[in-house]
Amino acid sequence: MKTIKIITTILLIFSMSNSIAQEKQVESTTTVHTFNFEKDGKTIPYRIKVHKKVASKVKLAKEDADKLNQARKATSDQVTKLIYVDNDEYDDYDKYIVLKYMKDPTDSFELKPTKRGFSVLVDNKNLEYIFGEGIYFVNNEDADFFIVEEFDAI
């Protein structure tokens, strides 16, 4: 009976240390942008609120295994962005867009206004949102980089 308790204690400690070593780091931020688009010769303002969630695996360098403060290895992160488009004048243009992609450590995210909507640029991959039409990929190969879902705001 004593050996069973010792074995279960060792297994419990081993499983806990294994789960701690494979933790994820989660980062969340929110940014708000205000842009304008043109419709029938009229300039219409709209707001974009971007909620970003980045989940990254924590990987440590092997040469620092016995150190207290270990160096982290660069890993690809899974990024989920909830983009809320809010237009006070036209309720039809209020949309939620969920954008998912794998981010490299050197990637950048940028929103740029266009005459008919806005453009999302991630690592030279382009996705354009056109008011009244929806999402358009400038280059069809970029569609494989993004996972995109679009919903109407209620």
Q: What is the pLDDT of residues 77-121, one digit of tens each?
A: 788 888 888 887 777 778 888 888 887 766 688 889 888 888 888
**58 within a domain of the structure (yes/no):** yes
Q: How many domains does the chain have?
A: 1
pLDDT tens by residue, 41-76: 888 888 999 998 888 777 777 777 777 777 766 677
**46 within a domain of the structure (yes/no):** yes
The residue range of the domain holding 52 is 24-152
> 0.85 cut: is pTM over it?
no
Question: What pLDDT is recorded for position 32?
Answer: 92
3-state secondary structure of 40: coil
**75 within a domain of the structure (yes/no):** yes
pLDDT tens by residue, 7-37: 777 766 766 655 555 577 788 889 999 988 8
Looking up tokens 């709209």 gives 46
Strands (E), the chain: 24-39, 42-57, 77-86, 95-103, 109-113, 117-122, 125-130, 134-137, 147-152
Enumerate the β-bridge partners of residue 28.
Answer: 53
Contact 117, 37 (CB under 8 A): yes
